[in-house]
Amino acid sequence: MHKIIKIVLIVLGLLGTLLWFLLPGSDVPASEASQNSAMNLMFVMTYVLLAIAIIASLLFALAKLFSSPESLKKTLLTLAGFVVVVVVAYVFASGSDVDIAGLAKNGIHTTEGTVKAIGAGLNVFLILTLVAVVLMVIPGVKGLFSK
């Protein structure tokens, strides 16, 4: 399998190199350059490689996730913690702190629910930032007192 992947990558690299030399020059108008078959093939090749990378990374991540009960338990606990943070952020978000009528006068039509969802998103960001900072500071403080 490893040799097959190497051969496919070599073929794709050679094809990409060939297509690179077939690209239109800088003197070609953009309207004509966008219709170039070499450019279109390079875009198709890029999308195919991106799809392969995404599928492979998802498959390997899911295989690793379900390989042991401990990793599955850790993932579920992390997801549960994230859901708790989102719920807390949504509860503390207020949808009435923006003048909706004033926004409507300026051509921005929104609802109280939309404002509350945006506030919840900001609260999630702030909570997770605070958690990250605390988790970076704690080891540093422990290191100062343990020496």
d(CA 23, CA 111): 49
d(CA 53, CA 61): 12
- Domain residue limits, the chain: 2-65, 69-146
How big is the chain, counted in residues?
A: 147
SS3 34: coil
pLDDT digits (tens, 9 = 90+) for 47-71: 988 998 999 899 998 888 888 889 8
pLDDT digits (tens, 9 = 90+) for 22-46: 888 888 788 777 788 888 888 888 9
Q: What is the CA radius of gyration of the chain?
A: 26
DSSP 97: S
pTM: 0.59
pLDDT at 88: 95
The number of beta carbons lying within 10 Å of the beta carbon of residue 120 is: 20
The two structure tokens encoding residue 127: 């909570």
